[in-house]
Every structure is written in C-alpha cells, then in structure tokens.
Amino acid sequence: MAIRRGAFRIWLAAFLSGCAFAQTLGIYTETQTPWQYEGADGTPAGPSVAVVKEIQRRVGNSDPIHMVPWARAYAMIQGQPNVVLFLMTRTAERNGLFQWVGPIGEGVYGLSVKAGSSIVLRSLDEAKKLERVGVYRGDVRDQLLTEKGFTNLERVTDNEMNARKLMAGRIDAFASSDVTIASTVKAAGFDPSEVRLALPFFRYQTWIAFSKQTSPDFVKAWADTLEDMRRERVLERIIRKEIPAWTPPGPPITSF
C-alpha cells in the first residue's frame, strides 16, 4: 500500500533524527515587522516565525528560534553548518551561497522619502546624488545599492532608526520594502502616510535559507513540507492572519 504523503513526512523526519549525520539546527531571524518581531513574552513572533514553527512541528524538529541582528546571523550562515536564517531575499550574489526553501513572500524594494518632500527620483543615478541615503547594515538593500556604486549610504542596525532619521531630516531617503514600509514607519512612531515611495528599484522574493554545509536531506524535508502547507493553504492562513493583504508569491525565481 502506498504511504500517504503526510505519513511519509513523519517517517522521514523520524529517520533523519536517528541518522548519524543528524545535527541540531541553529535557527535565526531578525526583527522585520510585520513578518517577524519580538512578542509580548520576549520570544520571536510573527507570521514567518509561525510558518517556520509549523514546518518544525511537521518534520519533528524542536530547535529554538533566535532573534539576532541581521549582520551577525548572515555571518553565521556563511561560515557554519546547520544554520537556518529567515526570511532572506534571494539574489544573484546569494544564490549559490545557500540552500533555499520557499519562496514565502514577494515585493519591491525602493527608496522612500518624506511625503511632503520635493525630491523626485527617476533613476538610481539620480539617487546617488542625494546627500544621505539610509540603509539597514548588511541587509540586501545595503548590498544592492553598494553594488550599484552608492557612496552616500548611512548604515544603521535597526530599520526603524532609518524612519526616525528621515522624519528628523538627518537623511534624504531610505531603502524600504513595499511590504514592510508601513509597519516600519508606524513602529518608529509616525503615520505611514508621512512617507512615500520615490523610486522602486528591485523586485524580490524572500525565502528560508540553509547554510551550504547543511545536509540536503534536511533541506528537502523542509521544502517538501512547505509545499504541502502551500497546497493545503495552511501557509496562506498563517500569513493572512497578520498580513491580510499578503498574496502568494509568483513562480520561484531561481535563475538570475
């Protein structure tokens, strides 16, 4: 008799946990509202955390999720085995560095300015002429703009600080996401209507990333489980509970 897909997942998880190569996973994320943030009890919360926890439950993994600054987690996933980091934007530069499970989300990165600003941006070359552009240190937006030759970047370790610096006139624009900009501005203490998108510059997808040295069997178990959740619409229910406007990402972008 054929083994049902769900039963097979449980069997595979049990098999992997008993294998000699089974290792504890170091699972990391960052603060990036509305996807993940520190809950009222001080533990990681948010829809992406809930998605990862559901995958863990289904594959039989109970390793804790740690919330740390992005630059620290990004360094660990590049240099250590059995490290998971979410949510990560998949780009040409990162594509071959990690193993990928997803996508989970999709959106557009852009440069945001004060709503009442006279700044008009028609290209990244024009944005390079601004005096100061805020970025989240080590984040993909920092990487993308640095690769484009920006020399006017001011880096911070908290994207909410960029929103506060923008409203205080300490920077001219900051690199944002159309999905998270409203939450970032609100968390910084301002109304989202006080900020506007001046220049979109990159369409992205976000994924769960595994370090290159992690066993492909673990990665496949997570990927297959996520696909089950997508097909069962469990993924949709989890995310729309906190992000009602979320729409499923399009076909996976795996070639650049």
CB 136 within 8 A of CB 175: yes
Share of the chain above pLDDT 70, in %: 91
Query: Does pLDDT of 12 surpass 70?
Result: no
Query: Does pLDDT of 15 surpass 80?
Result: no
In the chain, the DSSP E strands lie at 26-29, 37-38, 44-45, 65-67, 83-89, 98-114, 133-136, 153-156, 173-177, 195-211
Burial of 239 from C-beta contacts in 10 A (0-12 / 13-18 / 19+) = buried
Query: Does pLDDT of 130 surpass 70?
Result: yes
Query: Does pLDDT of 83 surpass 60?
Result: yes
Query: Does pLDDT of 82 surpass 70?
Result: yes
* Out of 39-48, 129-138, 177-186, 196-205, least confident range: 177-186
| Band of residue 20 on the pLDDT scale cut at 50, 70, 90 | very low
Q: 79 or 173: which carries more pLDDT confidence?
A: 173
Q: Which of 145, 150, 110 is nearest to 129 (CA)?
A: 150
Query: Does pLDDT of 174 surpass 80?
Result: yes
3.20.20.10, 3.40.190.10, 3.40.50.620, 3.40.50.460: which CATH number matches 5-106+205-240?
3.40.190.10
| Band of residue 223 on the pLDDT scale cut at 50, 70, 90 | very high
Query: Does pLDDT of 138 surpass 90?
Result: no
Triad 137, 138, 141: Cα angle to 5°: 85
- Is CATH 3.40.30.10 what the domain over 107-203 is classified as, yes or no? no
Q: Where are the domains of the chain?
A: 5-106+205-240, 107-203
Q: Which of 72, 52, 70 is nearest to 61 (CA)?
A: 52
Q: 107-203: same fold as 5-106+205-240?
A: yes
How is residue 151 written in tokens? 């020399």
How is residue 26 written in tokens? 């170091």
pLDDT of residue 9: 53
pLDDT of residue 158: 83
pLDDT of residue 5: 55
Distance CA(14)–CA(122), nearest Å, equals 54
